[in-house]
């Protein structure tokens, strides 16, 4: 099987909403009138973003999921994806399983693979994703306002705990097999919060997705918006056994990374609507703090004293 057969067999699917999809020198897309077009790219490198032994199917899911998470953070509806693949060799079984994982998630969210590029090289995966929001409505990082509630979706810390476990750092942590399996599943198959993101349009002020850790990604909102935040350490959502020992797992919850949850701010008047949006999207939403004047995020205990973490969030160059 050569490169072109591999593309035809595993990466060519009908893309009915594109004027022209895979197969020509470029795809032709026709954005919906009245919508803003969002474009974002995310890259995954072996050894840096995933373990060498992760299943190709999980990798296909995750490569798309991390990109969909960026669309979710802006409240965008994802439309088209472009896949760049560097593969050490033309491995048909790998391509089959990888594309299965990728297309299963793509179909779930109505995303069409409209093109890509394939080359030989160290295993590297990159997707360029395009999505749409009604003109001027997108959730941005620079729109948080003093007095807003800070919210986060789903559960924090699972991906980071799975990474620590796989790196052999949690041997005596006493976590049950069920909890570790749930963490591993979240690391391999993160859930992009697309429905929630779109439901938050016109409701939330600012949003970002949590990929490098809550404090780091909320930090981007704070910097862009020129505001500060107070976070309540004891409110951070996770699995019940982890919430039962929050202080012990606080580094993972607040700064672990690999969460792919949404962190967003919304006015107090939107509380009931945000709760309702969470219910409709089938996703937990938790109020974890508030936006204040100043800069930076302060993590507080129940007495209002500031907590200092050991970890500051994931930095690829640290």
- What's the CA angle centered on 178, arms 172 and 182, to 5 degrees? 105
Min CB(208)–Mg ion separation in Å: 32
Residue with tokens 């790219």: 41
Contact with ligand ADP (CB under 6 A): which of 58, 102, 105, 113? 113
Site membership for ligand ADP, residue 231 (CB under 6 A): no
Min CB(117)–Mg ion separation in Å: 4
Min CB(81)–ligand ADP separation in Å: 9
CA dihedral of residues 194, 34, 37, 65 (deg, nearest 10): 10
In angstroms, the CA 314 to CA 308 distance is 16
| b/e burial code for range 119-136 (CB count within 10 A of at least 16 → b) | eeeebbbbbbbbbbbeee
Directed axis angle between helix 246-255 and helix 158-166, to 10°? 100
Min CB(36)–ligand ADP separation in Å: 24
Q: Name the residue among 259, 250, 254 with its Cα closest to residue 214.
A: 254
Residue with tokens 């999505």: 131
Name the H helices within 226-270: 240-243, 246-255
Binding positions for ligand ADP, 22-41, rule CB under 6 A:
22-25
Q: Which of the listed partners (ligand ADP, Mg ion, none) does 187 bind, with a CB threshold of 5 to 8 Å by partner kind?
A: none
Contact 98, 57 (CB under 8 A): yes
Choose the stretch contacting ligand ADP; rule: CB under 6 A; options: 20-28, 122-130, 177-185, 270-278: 20-28
Site membership for ligand ADP, residue 115 (CB under 6 A): yes
Residue 93: DSSP 8-state: H
Site membership for Mg ion, residue 117 (CB under 5 A): yes
Residue number, 22 or 231, with CB nearest to ligand ADP: 22
Residue 230: DSSP 8-state: E
Site membership for ligand ADP, residue 123 (CB under 6 A): no
Show the binding pattern over residues 170-199: x = contacts Mg ion (CB under 5 A), - = does not: ------------------------------
- Would you state the structure tokens that stand for residue 310, as one six-digit string? 């050991």
Site membership for ligand ADP, residue 117 (CB under 6 A): yes
Sign of the alpha-carbon torsion through 269, 270, 276, 278: negative
Choose the stretch contacting ligand ADP; rule: CB under 6 A; options: 110-118, 175-183, 231-239, 284-292: 110-118
Residue with tokens 């409709």: 280
Site membership for ligand ADP, residue 118 (CB under 6 A): yes
Residue number, 116 or 313, with CB nearest to ligand ADP: 116
| CA-based max dimension of the chain | 65
Contact with ligand ADP (CB under 6 A): which of 66, 83, 179, 242? 83
Min CB(94)–ligand ADP separation in Å: 12
Residue number, 23 or 110, with CB nearest to Mg ion: 23
Min CB(29)–ligand ADP separation in Å: 12
Task: Kindly list the residues in this chain that would bind Mg ion in the complex (CB under 5 A).
Answer: 117
Task: Kindly list the residues in this chain that would bind ligand ADP in the complex (CB under 6 A).
Answer: 7, 11, 22-25, 83, 85, 113, 115-118
């Amino acid at each position: 099987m050569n490169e072109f057969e591999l593309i035809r067999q595993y990466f060519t699917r009908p893309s009915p909403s594109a004027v022209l999809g895979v197969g020509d020198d470029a795809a032709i897309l026709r954005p919906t009138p009245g919508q803003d077009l969002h474009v974002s790219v995310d890259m995954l490198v072996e050894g840096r973003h995933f373990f060498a032994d992760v299943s190709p199917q999980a990798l296909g899911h995750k490569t798309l999921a991390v990109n969909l998470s960026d669309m979710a953070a802006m409240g965008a509806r994802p439309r088209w994806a472009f896949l760049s693949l560097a593969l050490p060799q033309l491995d048909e079984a790998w391509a089959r399983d990888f594309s299965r994982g990728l297309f299963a998630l793509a179909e779930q969210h109505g995303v069409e693979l409209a093109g890509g590029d394939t080359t030989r090289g160290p295993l590297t995966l990159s997707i360029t994703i395009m999505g749409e929001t009604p003109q001027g409505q997108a959730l941005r990082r620079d729109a948080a306002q003093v007095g807003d509630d800070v919210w986060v979706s789903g559960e924090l810390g699972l991906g980071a705990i799975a990474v620590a476990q796989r790196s052999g750092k949690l041997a005596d942590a006493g976590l049950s097999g069920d909890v570790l399996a749930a963490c591993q599943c979240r690391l391999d198959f993160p859930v992009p919060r697309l429905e929630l993101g779109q439901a938050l349009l016109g409701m939330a002020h600012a949003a970002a997705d949590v990929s490098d850790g809550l404090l780091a990604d909320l930090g981007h909102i704070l910097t862009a918006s020129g505001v500060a935040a107070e976070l309540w350490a004891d409110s951070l959502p996770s699995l019940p056994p982890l919430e039962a020992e929050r202080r012990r797992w606080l580094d993972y919850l607040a700064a672990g990374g690999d969460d792919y949850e949404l962190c967003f701010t919304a006015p107090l008047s939107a509380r009931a609507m945000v709760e309702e949006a969470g219910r409709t999207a089938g996703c937990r939403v938790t109020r974890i703090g508030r936006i204040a004047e100043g800069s930076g995020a302060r993590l507080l205990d129940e007495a209002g004293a500031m907590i200092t973490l050991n970890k500051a969030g994931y930095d690829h160059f640290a």
